[in-house]
Structure 1
Amino acid sequence: MSYRFITLTFANQVATLRLNRPEVHNAFDDVMISELLDAFQQIEQAPDCRLVVLASNGRNFSAGADLGWMRSMADKNYDENMADAGELAQLMQRLDELSKPTIALVQGAAFGGAVGLAACCDIVLAEQRTSFCLSEVKIGLIPAVISPYVMRAIGTRQARRYMLTAERFAATEALQMGLVHEIVDDFDTALTRYTDAMLGNSPAAVSAAKQLIADLDQQPIDATHQRLTIERIAAIRVSSEGQEGLSAFLEKRSPNWKKDSQ
């Protein structure tokens, strides 16, 4: 499928999804949201895809919501706005819940909903000059549908500051807060390092680990969740890839999935 505002390519077990509206700083509207949802579905269903890279073309990662689109929503009623916001909420949830690991490459500026996209990814790499801003309150709005993901990434205390002040914060601050994992000089070099690491791991185990993290996040460590962890490790141990991984380790050889990625 061809897209207007994004590009999606598959190569060497990696899906690269790029926002492609550089003339408006990759601001997203209902069309881009619909295209991203379709792309996520394709990625999820691609049997040979094991890793997802979320990036963008141009100087800036994304300016967040397109102002023209925002103006059009001002003319819609409550129910229409509910439906519209529901699409954005679905986008964030779909990205957050992808079974395959995701890496965001964030350059330039990431504003509003773009911070939400970053917060939904498993790993976020930024350049030294990258900046972030939860700018919604400046125009009388709130970062509503992205808030659960952003708060999980930076914590409630930092969210109180940056959601209320709409200050721009640098990549170094984002790193300290946990939104960014690493500040890099060159995306390609860093991405190769992460890609090699990811593709060297068991695909089933990576997917299971992602699901385990999601199920345990912010949950009390009680008997129910202890039981869950016991069941998950037991299941992965007796799985075909679990058995192959243990056998390869004991036999001091590479597991068969690592051979597939070389």
Structure 2
Amino acid sequence: MTYQNLRIEKADNGITTLLLARAEKHNAMNAQMMDELVAAAEELDNCEQTRAIILAADGETFCAGGDLKWMQAQAEKDRIGKMQEANRLAGMLKRLDNMKKPLIARVHGPAYGGGVGILSVCDLVVAADNTKFALTETRLGLIPATIGTYVVRRLGEGHARQVFMNARPFGAERAHHLGLVSLVTTPEDLHAVTQKEAEAYLNCAPGAVADAKALCQNLARMPVEDQIDYTANALADRWETTEAQAGISAFFAKETPPWRK
């Protein structure tokens, strides 16, 4: 597929970089970009070459949130039309959240509104220490509703309440304290630190990584009383995979497993 608002760079080592490529619009999301992100998630999930994905952005801004023209078009729609566009954004976030591959964000510039939503569905977020974040919806008389499912899950209600309502920008260290950002580093070290985090997955069995991610998501969203049977079945399923058999055999034989390069 040809992308107009994204760029995909695949490296030989299995780390693929997915870049938001609307630098002239501060990587603000319009309907086309959302649809392209869904398509890119599908493509990279099905790409055997790709073992881990770094989500980054062109230009000085990571993501300014919703594109102003897209938001203006929403304002002119009837209630059904507004809900359809909200569901477009929700569907994009859900697809990124459900990716089988590790998704690591590399944040070098401001991330506002929907940009915070995107970060909330990443497995790990590495941010430069001069980055700014904000949920700015209330300045427009709106609320961070569609992204809220993922932001509240990421931050927890107590932390989310601190940033949901006042629209005040906050820095990378505060974002780290809130749980939005995983690691904070200097702008000069941002690429190297993110690359190191992505490379860690190359030592792991790709199928096991996907199953471990699904396990984490399901346990977080499942009633406690259902977890024992679920985890027992999940582990038994994993033991029976050829990948696990190869990994255990390599361990006892003191050999390198087939997925390590």
Whether the TM-score (by the shorter chain) exceeds 0.5 is yes
Residue in 2 that maps onto 1:32: 33
Residue in 2 that maps onto 1:221: 224
Query: Cα distance, 1:140 vs. partner?
Result: 1.0
Write the distance in 2 (CA, Å) between the matches of 1:129 and 1:34.
30
Residue in 1 that maps onto 2:154: 153
Query: Cα distance, 1:64 vs. partner?
Result: 0.3
Tell me the C-alpha RMSD between the 2 structures: 1.2
Query: Cα distance, 1:47 vs. partner?
Result: 2.2
Q: Percent identity?
A: 37
2:248 matched to 1:246?
A: yes
Answer whether contact 2:128 2:172 (CA < 8 A) is retained. yes
Residue in 2 that maps onto 1:6: 6
Residue in 2 that maps onto 1:181: 182
Specify the code of the residue in structure 2 equivalent to 1:92: L
TM-score, with length taken from structure 2:
0.95
User: What pairs with 1:184-203 in structure 2 (closer than 5 Å)?
Assistant: 184-185=185-186, 186-203=189-206
Answer whether contact 2:53 2:198 (CA < 8 A) is retained. no
Query: Cα distance, 1:23 vs. partner?
Result: 1.5
Q: Secondary structure at the match of 2:32?
A: helix
With 13-22 and 82-91 compared, the bigger mean Cα shift is at: 13-22
Residues 134-156 of structure 1: CA deviation (Å, up to 9, x unaligned): 11111011111111111111110
2:75 matched to 1:74?
A: yes
User: What pairs with 1:124-143 in structure 2 (closer than 5 Å)?
Assistant: 124-143=125-144
Q: Which ranges of structure 1 fall in alignment gaps of 5 or more residues?
A: none
Residue in 2 that maps onto 1:62: 63
Write the distance in 2 (CA, Å) between the matches of 1:169 and 1:192.
25
Name the count of aligned residue pairs: 258
Q: Secondary structure at the match of 1:257?
A: coil
Q: Which ranges of structure 2 fall in alignment gaps of 5 or more residues?
A: none
2:165 matched to 1:164?
A: yes
TM-score, with length taken from structure 1:
0.95
Query: Cα distance, 1:219 vs. partner?
Result: 3.2
Query: Cα distance, 1:54 vs. partner?
Result: 0.7
Residue in 1 that maps onto 2:92: 91
Q: Secondary structure at the match of 1:16?
A: strand
Q: Secondary structure at the match of 2:105?
A: strand
Write the distance in 2 (CA, Å) between the matches of 1:113 and 1:202.
32
